[in-house]
Chains A and B, each alone.
Chain A
Amino acid sequence: MKKQNVDIAIQAAGVTKIYGNGNGKIVALSDVSISIPANEFFTLLGPSGCGKTTLLRLIAGFEHPTAGTIFLNSEDITNLPPFKRRVNTVFQNYALFPHMTVTENISFGLEMLGRPKNEIASTVDEMINLVKMVELKDRQINQISGGQQQRVALARALAPRPDVLLLDEPLSALDQKLRKEMQIELKRLQNETGITFVFVTHDQEEALTMSDRIAVMNQGRILQIGTPREIYKQPAERFVADFIGETNFLQADVISARDGIAEIALPSGTKVEANLPDGFQPNKRVNIVIRPEHTMITADTDDYALVGRLENAVYFGTDMHYHLILDSGEPFMIRMQNNPEDNIDKLTKGVKIYVGLSKNAVQILRD
Chain B
Amino acid sequence: MMVNQIDKMGDKNTGNTPTSYELKQKKQARQRWLLLSPAMTLLLFAASGPLLIVLVYSFLTAGDYGGVVWKFSTEGWFSVIWQRDIFSDVVNLSDAHIRVLLRSIKLSFFTTILTLIFGFPTAYFIATRSPERRSIWLFLITIPFWTNLLIRTFAIMEVIRNEGIVNSILLSLGLIDQPIQMLYTDFAILAGMLYVYLPLMVLPIYASMERFDFRFVEAGYDLYANRWQTMRRIILPIIKPGIIAGSILVFIPSLGAYVTPRILGGGKSMMLGNLIELQFGQANNWPLGAALSFFLLAMVMIFLLIYIRLTAKSRNTHV
- Show the binding face of A for B, using Cβ within 8 Å: 60-62, 81-84, 87-89, 91, 93, 95-99, 108-109, 112-113, 140, 142, 156-157, 160
Contact = CB atoms under 8 A, between A and B. Distances in A.
Nearest to A81: B221
Interface of B: 213, 215-216, 218-226, 229, 233-234, 237-238, 317-319
Contacts of A95: 213, 215-216, 218-219
Contacts, number: 66
B224 A97 contact: no
Contacts of B229: 112
Contacts of A93: 215
The 3 closest A-B pairs by CB, nearest first: A109-B223, A112-B224, A82-B221
B318 A89 contact: no
Contacts of B216: 95, 97
Contacts of A84: 224
B318 A108 contact: no
B223 A160 contact: yes
A108 B223 contact: yes
A88 B223 contact: yes
A88 B238 contact: no
B223 A156 contact: yes
A91 B215 contact: yes
Contact of A99 (B213, B223, B224, B237): B237
Contact of A88 (B222, B226, B234, B318): B222
A108 B229 CA distance: 11
Contact of B319 (A83, A109, A113, A142): A142
22 contacts: A60-B218, A61-B221, A81-B226, A82-B222, A83-B222, A83-B225, A83-B226, A87-B222, A88-B223, A89-B219, A91-B215, A91-B219, A95-B213, A97-B238, A99-B317, A108-B223, A109-B224, A112-B223, A112-B224, A112-B226, A157-B223, A160-B224
Contact of A62 (B221, B225, B238, B319): B221
Contacts of B233: 108
Given A112-B224, A160-B223, A82 B218 contact: yes
Given A61-B221, A95-B218, A97-B238, 15 more contacts: A81-B226, A82-B222, A83-B223, A83-B224, A87-B222, A95-B213, A96-B219, A98-B238, A98-B318, A98-B319, A99-B318, A109-B224, A112-B223, A140-B318, A142-B318
A91 B224 contact: no
Contacts of B223: 83, 88, 108-109, 112, 156-157, 160
A89 B317 contact: no
Contacts of B222: 60, 62, 82-83, 87-89, 157
Given A61-B221, A81-B221, A82-B221, A97 B319 contact: no
Contacts of A140: 317-318
Contacts of B234: 97
Contacts of B218: 60, 62, 82, 89, 91, 95
Nearest to A92: B215
A84 B229 CA distance: 13
Nearest to B214: A95
A95 B233 CA distance: 14
Contacts of A87: 222
B275 to A, nearest CB: 42
